[in-house]
A = this chain, B = another copy of it.
């Protein structure tokens, strides 16, 4: 149930989740859009999707649309959450600029431990109370 996922694989999951949320009617995601979003060549995406399929995080038929499995979605949401918490912390607490905060969050989201995440959320709750949900 609890894989360890590489940074790269987490990035793919996150991108697929984001793209799948664009149109609430259509959860499907295209290889080209993943490639575009991550600034990566399409064959690299195909290769990554094979890994994701093997891990049961994504479904895709040959030449078809990509979908997150429930498991994949779960993992993607965790990463997304980490990203948002980190970005909010960097911007609201430390006062880091939006662009840099976004970028740092992108990198930190793959390495921060669950404990640190917890403490970060606690801190946000006691400091920047209830601006918005994460």
Contacts and interface: CB of A to CB of B under 8 A. Distances in A.
Interface of A: 90, 93-97, 100-101, 103-104, 107-108, 111-113, 115-116, 119-120, 122-123
Nearest to A101: B116
Contact of A123 (B94, B100, B119): B94
Contact of A96 (B95, B97, B107, B119): B119
Contacts of A94: 116, 119-120, 122-123
Contact of A100 (B104, B116, B120): B116
Contact of A111 (B95, B97, B104, B123): B104
22 contacts: A90-B116, A90-B119, A94-B116, A94-B119, A94-B122, A94-B123, A95-B119, A96-B113, A96-B116, A96-B119, A97-B115, A100-B113, A100-B115, A103-B113, A104-B111, A104-B112, A104-B113, A104-B116, A107-B112, A108-B108, A108-B112, A111-B111
A92 B107 CA distance: 23
